[in-house]
Amino acid sequence: MEQITISTLNNWKKSKQKIAAITAYDFSFAKLFFTQGISVMLIGDSLGMTIQGHTSTLPVTVQDIEYHTKAVRNGAPNAFLLADMPFMSYGEINQALNNASKIIQSGANMVKVEGGKWLVKTIKELSDRSILVCGHIGLTPQSIHYLSGYKVQGKNTYDKNRIIDEAFILEESGIKMLVLECIPELLGKKITQNLSIPVIGIGAGKYTDGQILVMQDILGINEGKLAKFAKNFLVDSNSIQHAIQKYIKAVQTGTYPQTIHSYI
Ligand code: KIV
């Protein structure tokens, strides 16, 4: 398969081809995912929980992201890789430039940052130096203490308008992709329809340009109280390969997410 680039993803948005993305943290799974047809992978700071066993993403370091990005790149040389900038690794502009360059040098195509207006200058500075940036708004796990837990965002009019404003401001600042997490479906729809960049949702309803899930949720490995949007695709499959194919098909045909996976 040819190298997936940001132009590929923009074309998919234009032609309404849905993007089925997944988190990946190592060589073997990255290879398997790409072979089954996953073109976009996120080296997410969710690795703090899924790989390292912490209760949040906060302890993850730039070195951790570099290490896992290298492994994923080795497994999926032609995939489009976005990698998280960890908590407080982009609080100051010089620090952001320094850390983003390390992550890009590890093999990522794009870095992802969580937050709204305060990131305007950082995004401009990164973009001016040709670093592709993905925004992440709605539920932002790096702000877990500030938000008092993993809760749906944008439920009242004030918060809805704030999230819409943030999406526009981030696009104007130069982000080339946006992740929306845990927001009402119609808010996800409105933002997706009004931005020209690809918008990927996780718990943001069925109208976004694509979906992303944590691989452990797709494979039913996470236990306990799961998020509403989590779906185990392995449960009715005879192999991991088959589960991944089912996930891609469900996203592309619009059978995932359904109402039970979405917030109103
Ligand atoms: O770290 C992660 O896995 C993420 C996804 C939840 C989008 O940011």
d(CA 196, CA 219) in angstroms, rounded, equals: 32
For the chain (264 residues), the mean pLDDT of every run of 10, in chain order, is 94 98 98 98 98 97 99 98 98 98 98 98 98 98 96 97 98 98 98 98 98 98 92 96 98 97 96
Beta strands, E only, 44-175: 80-84, 110-114, 132-138
Report yes or no on 181 lying in a domain.
yes
Q: What is the pLDDT of residue 136?
A: 99
d(CA 14, CA 99) in angstroms, rounded, equals: 32
Residue 80's nearest CA partner among 185, 161, 198 is 198
Q: Is 44 in the pocket of ligand 1 (CB under 6 A)?
A: yes
Q: Distance from the CA of 188 to the center of ligand 1, in angstroms?
A: 17
d(CA 86, CA 63) in angstroms, rounded, equals: 10
Q: What is the pLDDT of residue 185?
A: 98
Which atom of ligand 1 is the closest one to the Cα of 212?
Answer: 7
Helix, strand, or coil (residue 145): coil
Residue 119's nearest CA partner among 149, 89, 139, 151 is 89
Residue nearest to atom 8 of ligand 1 (CA): 44
Report yes or no on 76 lying in a domain.
yes
Q: Is 83 in the pocket of ligand 1 (CB under 6 A)?
A: no
List the domain range (segments joined by +) for residue 136. 6-261
Report yes or no on 82 lying in a domain.
yes
Q: At what angle do helices 62-75 and 27-36 cross, to 10 degrees?
A: 50
Q: Which residues belong to the active site?
A: 181
State which H helix or E strand residue 44 sits in.
none
Report yes or no on 118 lying in a domain.
yes
Q: What is the pLDDT of residue 1?
A: 73
Report yes or no on 169 lying in a domain.
yes
Report yes or no on 1 lying in a domain.
no
DSSP of 152-191: ----SHHHHHHHHHHHHHHHHHT-SEEEEES-BHHHHHHH
CATH of the domain at 171: 3.20.20.60
Residue 113's nearest CA partner among 128, 97, 105, 129 is 97
Domains contained in the chain, number: 1
In this prediction the pTM is 0.98
How long a stretch of residues is the chain? 264
Q: Is 38 in the pocket of ligand 1 (CB under 6 A)?
A: no
Which atom of ligand 1 is the closest one to the Cα of 141?
Answer: 8
